[in-house]
Each structure stands twice: as C-alpha cells, then as structure tokens.
Amino acid sequence: GESVGLHLPTLSVQEGDNSIINCAYSNSASDYFIWYKQESGKGPQFIIDIRSNMDKRQGQRVTVLLNKTVKHLSLQIAATQPGDSAVYFCAENRDGNQFYFGTGTSLTVIP
Amino acid sequence: DVKVTQSSRYLVKRTGEKVFLECVQDMDHENMFWYRQDPGLGLRLIYFSYDVKMKEKGDIPEGYSVSREKKERFSLILESASTNQTSMYLCASSLYLGGTEAFFGQGTRLTVV
C-alpha cells in the first residue's frame, strides 16, 4: 500500500505486506529529515533520519528515501506487523532551529 | 534509557484559569520544546528554549508563556485558559537544535471547559 503526502491520511495494509508512506516537504533548503511513529496515547518516537546529502538510509525493516528534486520523502516498512499500526509523521528541519511536522498518516495493519 | 516526563497525562481546567504544564528531561539536553497537536494540523511549535532562561517563540505562541529556570525542566504556562487551547501538548528535548532527533514525552491532554 502507498499513501500520497498529506491528502491521504490513512493507509491499510495486510500483515506481511510492505508499506510505503509518503511525505512532501516544502523547503528545498531543508537539510535534515526525521520519521516519527506515534502510537495511540503515546508521544512520537524516532524511527529513522536522513540528511540531505543522502538519497537512502536503511534501518531494521525500515528504509527512508529522499528525492530532493521533487522534495519528496518516503518511509518503507518491510513485512508490516500489527505492532506497526500507528500514525507516522515526517519532520523537516528548514532553518536550523526547529522541525516542521507533517499532519501524519495513520497506518492500520490488517491481520 | 532516555526520558522526557510530563507531569500529567490528563488535565481538565476551567476557562480563565492559569495552567502550568511541567516537563522534565534526564538527558542533559540543551534544547527543549513545547508543541501542541491537533487533528489535521499535526504538531505545531509553541515555544522552545536553547539554554536556561532562554526562550524563543515558535509558530503559535499567543496565549502561552514558558519558563526554564533549570536545564532539565521546561514549563508551559497558559495565562488564562480558553476553550480553544483544548489540545494534546507534547514536550520534547534534543541535543542540538534542528540537527538531531527530538525525544518526546508521553503528552498531556488538556481540556478547558
């Protein structure tokens, strides 16, 4: 499954499938990006980050891709599990001081 | 295990009350932040602090003030609570401004009636 930026805030995938969550950022000068996961009733948790001098970064079951040409960021989750159900936010650092967060995508994993 | 702790999970206050939200971090971070989170609007920065007694306005500071008297503690103050301040409030801390991840507390859900 795949979401498209801020216009499709929900995504449902079957357990075991791969998930792709997308995010469009606004400032071509942004140089650092983070994906956060927020489970119900909890604060956001860091998943993975990427700096603008990279196109791709991999973690455990997660990959972040950065396309600076079109100002697009994506989070890929491999073999999605029920515990991955949460809201996922991208955050961009535009001015060196603070992060700007997207509105988030709600991921639901169907057993 | 790093930790950002917010003093309350849930608060209910009356319109016009002065409200204090407290946040403590144990990571010796210089920088601390207060956000509010509303459906469809994501996280919006209210204030941040890059050192003791230093503060900077974020995107939505109106109706709020902050206090940072000690490095580990950052307080958000609603001078006169209003119903439009009903929201989830999230505190965070980071080692560097903008260049490293921020660690978040569990959030305080404030309801103003």
Tell me how close the Cα of A63 comes to any Cα of chain B, in angstroms: 17
d(CA A110, CA A101): 27
- pLDDT one-digit tens code per residue, B16-69: 999 999 999 999 999 999 999 998 888 999 999 999 999 999 999 999 999 999
Q: Does A12 touch chain B if contact means CB atoms closer than 8 Å?
A: no
| Residues B4/B24, Cβ–Cβ less than 8 Å | yes
Residue of A nearest to B89 (CA): A43
| Residues B34/B43, Cβ–Cβ less than 8 Å | no
- pLDDT value at A5 more than 80: no
**From the list A32, A36, A89, which residue is nearest B99 (CB)?**
A32
Other CB atoms within 10 Å distance of the CB of residue B91: 28
- How long, in residues, is chain A? 111
**What DSSP assignment string belongs to A53-82?**
T-SEEE-SSEEEEEETTTTEEEEEESS--G
d(CA A55, CA A69): 11
Over residues A51-79, the mean pLDDT reads 96
* Phi, psi dihedral angles at B87 (to 5 degrees): -175, 175
Could you say which residues from 41 to 100 on chain A have a Cβ atom under 8 Å away from some Cβ of chain B? 41-46, 49, 89, 91, 93, 95-99
Which residues from chain A sit within 8 angstroms of residue B40, using beta carbons? 103
Identify the band that residue B1 occupies on the pLDDT scale cut at 50, 70 and 90. Answer: low
Which residues from chain B sit within 8 angstroms of residue A35, using beta carbons? none
Which residues from chain A sit within 8 angstroms of residue B8, using beta carbons? none
Which residues from chain A sit within 8 angstroms of residue B56, using beta carbons? 97
Q: Does B104 touch chain A if contact means CB atoms closer than 8 Å?
A: yes
For Cα atoms A93, A72, A4, give the angle at the middle one, nearest 5 degrees: 120
- pLDDT value at A10 more than 60: yes
Phi-psi region of B44 (alpha: psi -120 to 50; beta: other; left: phi over 0): beta
